[in-house]
């Protein structure tokens, strides 16, 4: 079964809007696991507008499932990941000024850099994943960096899903087959929700993990966190 990793950045965004500790991000991480999530994802950004670096340190000892830290491997990020040693690190090429991640890596242009960073993480026993667009060439080159997995950037799938789900999934099938061929594990994330998740997870062979934040936290406003997590888990069965 595909694992659900809950991205708790949006909970931190609500907390940061008022400066206090409501909602409590650490409690949310514990509760997501209690309610059935098989992983917790955080994505600290350099401006700390979502989850803060200090949150990441505090969350680490609380996690009983899988801790996945995403981010752009700038020196501060690399240092934190090496100190925290999560089960998984996902490398994302997000720049300072973007609202959210909006592209995968060019694994050809950045191969040497990625290889160097991945070698450091792997030497420390941390599983590595590279955020990529569903482009077989990028996936083949991702394998050459030594990464363990790729995370397929699903924004394009989610956008097209309501009008033409077969066309929307097609590049992801090619990408998944390329990943399987070169021995990479497959994760996915971005804009997955209760409408489009089931079709994606049942279509993609060997999908190991999805990380979901925005839609899941939004759904929790209506259903509550516990029920929402159960609804997402049902889609992955």
Phi first, then psi, for residue 89 (nearest 5°) are -120, 135
Q: Could you give the 3-state DSSP secondary structure of residue 157?
A: helix
Q: Alpha-carbon distance 9 to 120, whole Å?
A: 26
For 182, counting Cβ atoms within 10 Å of its Cβ (0-12 exposed, 13-18 middle, 19+ buried), the class is middle
If binding is defined by CB under 6 A, does position 190 make contact with ligand PXP?
A: yes
Q: Which of 55, 66, 70, 209 binds ligand PXP (CB under 6 A)?
A: 70
Q: Alpha-carbon distance 234 to 237, whole Å?
A: 5
CB of 98 to ligand PXP, least distance (A): 9
Q: Which of 39, 73, 86, 189 binds ligand PXP (CB under 6 A)?
A: 189
Q: Which of these, 92, 57, 80, 177, lies nearest to 126 by C-alpha position?
A: 80
Q: Which of 148, 191, 209, 219 binds ligand PXP (CB under 6 A)?
A: 191
If binding is defined by CB under 6 A, does position 73 make contact with ligand PXP?
A: no
CB of 191 to ligand PXP, least distance (A): 5
DSSP 3-state helix, strand, coil percentages of the chain (rounded to 5)?
Answer: 50, 15, 35
Q: Alpha-carbon distance 52 to 13, whole Å?
A: 10
Q: Show the binding pattern over residues 118-137: x = contacts ligand PXP (CB under 6 A), - = does not.
A: -------------x------
Q: Alpha-carbon distance 178 to 57, whole Å?
A: 35
Q: Which of 43, 60, 141, 149 binds ligand PXP (CB under 6 A)?
A: 43
Cα separation values, 94 from 35, 58, 111, 171, 218, Å:
30, 24, 16, 22, 23
Number of residues that bind ligand PXP (CB under 6 A): 19
Q: Which of residues 135-174 bind ligand PXP (CB under 6 A)?
A: 151
Q: Which of residues 90-119 bind ligand PXP (CB under 6 A)?
A: 90, 92, 100-101
Q: Which of residues 201-220 bind ligand PXP (CB under 6 A)?
A: 211-215
State the catalytic residues.
43, 70, 190
Chain contacts with ligand PXP (rule: CB under 6 A) = 7, 9, 43, 70, 90, 92, 100-101, 131, 151, 189-192, 211-215
């Amino acid at each position: 079964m595909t694992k659900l990793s809950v991205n708790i950045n949006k909970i931190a965004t609500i907390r940061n809007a008022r400066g206090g500790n409501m909602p409590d991000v650490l409690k949310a991480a514990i509760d997501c696991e209690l309610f059935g999530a098989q992983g917790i994802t955080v994505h600290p950004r350099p401006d700390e507008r979502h989850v803060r670096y200090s949150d990441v340190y505090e969350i680490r000892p609380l996690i009983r499932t899988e801790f996945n830290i995403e981010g752009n491997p700038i020196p501060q990020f690399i240092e934190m990941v090496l100190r925290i040693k999560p089960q998984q690190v996902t490398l994302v090429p997000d720049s300072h000024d973007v609202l959210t991640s909006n592209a995968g890596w060019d694994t050809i242009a950045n191969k040497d850099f990625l290889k160097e960073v991945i070698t450091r993480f792997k030497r420390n026993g941390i599983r590595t994943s590279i955020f990529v667009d569903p482009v077989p060439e990028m996936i083949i080159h991702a394998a050459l960096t030594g990464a363990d997995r790729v995370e397929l950037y699903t924004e394009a799938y989610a956008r097209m899903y309501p009008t033409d789900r077969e066309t929307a999934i097609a590049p992801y099938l090619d990408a998944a087959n390329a990943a399987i061929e070169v021995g990479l594990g497959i994760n996915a994330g971005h804009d997955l929700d209760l409408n489009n998740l089931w079709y994606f997870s049942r279509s993609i062979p060997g999908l190991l993990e999805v990380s979901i934040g925005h839609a899941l936290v939004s759904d929790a406003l209506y259903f509550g966190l516990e029920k929402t997590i159960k609804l997402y888990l049902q889609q992955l069965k």
